[in-house]
Chain A
Amino acid sequence: MGDTTFAPDSPNTTQPIAGRNGTPLERRMLKRGVPGEVGIWAFILTDMSVFAIYYIVVALSRSRQPEVFLHGRHLMSLPTGLLNTFFMLTASLFVALAVQYIRQGRNGTSQVLLVGAGLCGTGFVITKYFEWGAKLAAGYTPLSDNFFQLYFMLTGIHLLHVLVALVVLAYMSRKVTHIRQVPAASQMRFIENGASYWHMVDLIWLGLFALLYLAS
């Protein structure tokens, strides 16, 4: 019978009803090869728009209080920021490679890569813990000034995204154990959704790193 359960040959239905592969738009986009599904890109677009506004606000706040932001930037530890960036980029690389290997049917290697990505993510969280600890011990809290409010809050929101990404990674790993050699379409969709989310988290960190650690 195909994907649509309601027979679209009735003259009363003017457009096909969403079937197993989604609406007509989603099917067209799938043919063009959207990684994961259309929905995860709607999520990424929403979250990236929110973070774009966060970035704009940081830039505007800097232009209003340049001395506060300059003072704050000098207190940022660039090596720690670089270490965090390294963790994020490496994890992204591992996730991207893992997705490739899953497509090729190399599930064992992809599991190792996913674990590696998880370790990098955990490394990021631990580094963040020490970084924040050092700031707080030095007496700089989110209530100190506008720079530190934005720094702690935005890196905190990003940290929450990373924690969710680690959970997603665990689910992806579990999904891979269910794959028998070649993944089914729905399994691949889930894995690509998770990978896309991870790349988004990485991209958000790059923006925060540039704005809070590098921009003067």
Chain B
Amino acid sequence: MSVVYIVGWVVFARLIPAPSPGWSAQRLTDWLLGHQIQFLIGCAVMIGAAGLWGMWCAALSVWTYKTESRFPVLFATQVISVAAGLTFFIFDTLFWTVAAFRAGQRSPEITQAIWDVGWFGFLFTITVYIAWAVSIALGILWNPPEHQLFPRWSAFLTIGSALCWSAGLLIVFFKQGQFAYNGGLAMWLPLGEFFVWLAIMTVLGLRAISRQEQISRHEASQRGAQYGVYEPGKRDIFHPIEDSALIERPPESVAQLAGQDTR
């Protein structure tokens, strides 16, 4: 997702350097018209990448869910925040696309207004990302130690990253300078930091998955095959299940349904 998004941003949309909010409406329109088709391709690529993002976030949120299965508040917060964040992530590219779509055919002021909405959707909506990051961090910090699949330092890293991203809220005051929506400190730094954080969490997430597989195999050997990880191929249509122990058993009692039977 990151690679596709960056390719869309840099190669096609040519948003480096990004247009300044201080530009006149006509200058912005001319810039868009200067590479309109390329820009629209870039936006299509970026929106395609954004669609992949939800899956990554889901893979991250299940670790919180694992240790909070009865009242999954942090998990719910993550899912809600990611849903909102993903909507805004797509929404900002959508507005840039619409601005470029009829650039030159409509008044430059309208083009610039739609363009500005896109940028504000990109940066000003950072609060849901902060809520998401904080709920991930709390989910890691509040893990019982035996379920510590993400290292505690990644929670602190996430909180530090959320602080960095929050500079995006300051774009509302400035049309030029470092804290404008094309500025180094309000846009490039949080964006760069976000991708660095994403890369680190991806590596840790892959390690958590392999460790969880080890745990599941260990549980399977100790407590029975139905607690283990399902080996690839056992459940697909080409290999019907032969081992009846791998079939999920229906709950035997109401108590088991309510989670009180922790057998």
Binding site for B on A (CB under 8 A): 3-7, 10, 12-15, 17-23, 25-26, 37-47, 50, 53-54, 57, 61, 142-143, 146, 149-150, 153, 157
Contact = CB atoms under 8 A, between A and B. Distances in A.
Contacts of B221: 10, 12
A20 B145 CA distance: 5
Contacts of A3: 145
23 contacts: A5-B146, A6-B146, A6-B215, A18-B145, A18-B146, A19-B146, A39-B154, A39-B155, A43-B160, A44-B160, A46-B156, A46-B164, A46-B193, A47-B163, A47-B164, A50-B160, A50-B164, A53-B184, A57-B178, A143-B173, A153-B178, A153-B185, A157-B167
Q: SS class of chain B's interface: helix, strand, loop or mixed?
A: helix
Nearest to A53: B189
Contact of B218 (A13, A18, A61): A13
Interface string B152-165: 11111101110110
A42 B154 contact: yes
B174 interface: yes
B145 A12 contact: no
B149 interface: yes
Nearest to A153: B179
Interface string B183-200: 011000100010000000
Nearest to A50: B164
Chain B contact patch, size range: 20 to 34
A37 B217 contact: no
Contacts of B170: 153
Interface in B113-167: 145-146, 148-149, 151-157, 159-161, 163-164, 167
A43 B179 contact: no
A149 B163 contact: no
Nearest to A141: B173
B185 A57 contact: yes
B163 A50 contact: yes
Nearest to B174: A149
A4 B57 CA distance: 29
Interface in B237-255: none
Nearest to A161: B163
Given A39-B156, A42-B154, A53-B189, A14 B214 contact: yes
Nearest to B188: A53
A117 B238 CA distance: 69
B222 interface: yes
* Of A40, A61, A153, A157, most B-chain CB atoms within 10 Å: A153
A135 B225 CA distance: 71
Nearest to B141: A39
B205 interface: no
Given A37-B152, A50-B163, A149-B177, 19 more contacts: A4-B146, A5-B146, A6-B146, A10-B222, A12-B214, A17-B146, A19-B148, A20-B145, A23-B148, A37-B153, A44-B160, A46-B156, A46-B161, A46-B164, A50-B164, A53-B184, A61-B178, A143-B174, A150-B178
A142 B146 CA distance: 50
Contact of B193 (A18, A50, A153): A50
Given A12-B217, A17-B146, A18-B145, A38 B153 contact: yes
Contacts of B155: 39
Contacts of A45: 160
* Of A41, A44, A47, A50, most B-chain CB atoms within 10 Å: A50
Contacts of A43: 156-157, 159-160
A18 B161 contact: no
Contacts of A54: 185
Given A54-B185, A153-B170, A42 B157 contact: yes
A21 B148 CA distance: 10
